[in-house]
Structure 1
């Protein structure tokens, strides 16, 4: 996805990392770049809002249980793989 406007950080790159951003799993410098992009880019901010609401919904429905670290890593790996495949197809 791209909004067609020039940004320091590409829209696809931001959306790939939105879960890392939401989970506070990226370093402060990267977080600041992502925040800046979200402040400038309405389409990405809208997508971010959807992802944020999904995270809240999942948290409320999972009863506060924490997923095992191995599951989290497998999910991260699969998401990265899917995004890479999608990017190669586009």
Structure 2
């Protein structure tokens, strides 16, 4: 199900990053690559539509629910951001971890 177009994402990339796309967390170039792929790939578009509907259902169903403070802190403390910087063709990966703590 993969396409060989340099300007478009392949199926694997698209499906792996679909929630980043749906949440608007991609760069404009990445967004354009995925959008172009979705416009030309029925199976990936179907998965996109399913994920979009699922997100809407969860938002509607859980709109008035809030997570307990301890759960939110646990989830937030597990986040790790990874930033890739290219300098003279070399890839340098920086890893950052943010810790959150809720006092008893």
TM score, norm. by length of structure 2: 0.58
| Equivalent in the alignment of 1:88 | none
Say whether the 8 Å CA contact 2:3–2:11 is kept in structure 1.
no
| More divergent stretch after superposition (48-57 vs 62-71) | 62-71
- Note closer, same or farther for the CA distance 1:74–1:11 as it changes in structure 2 (3 Å cut): farther
How many residues were matched structurally? 75
Shift, 1:71, TM fit: 2.9
| Equivalent in the alignment of 2:19 | 19
Structure 2 unaligned residues grouped into runs of 5+ = 82-104
Structure scoring higher RCO (CA < 8 A, sep ≥ 6) equals 1
TM score, norm. by length of structure 1: 0.66
More strand by share: 2
RMSD: 2.9
Structure 1 unaligned residues grouped into runs of 5+ = 78-90
| Equivalent in the alignment of 2:4 | 6
| Equivalent in the alignment of 1:37 | 37
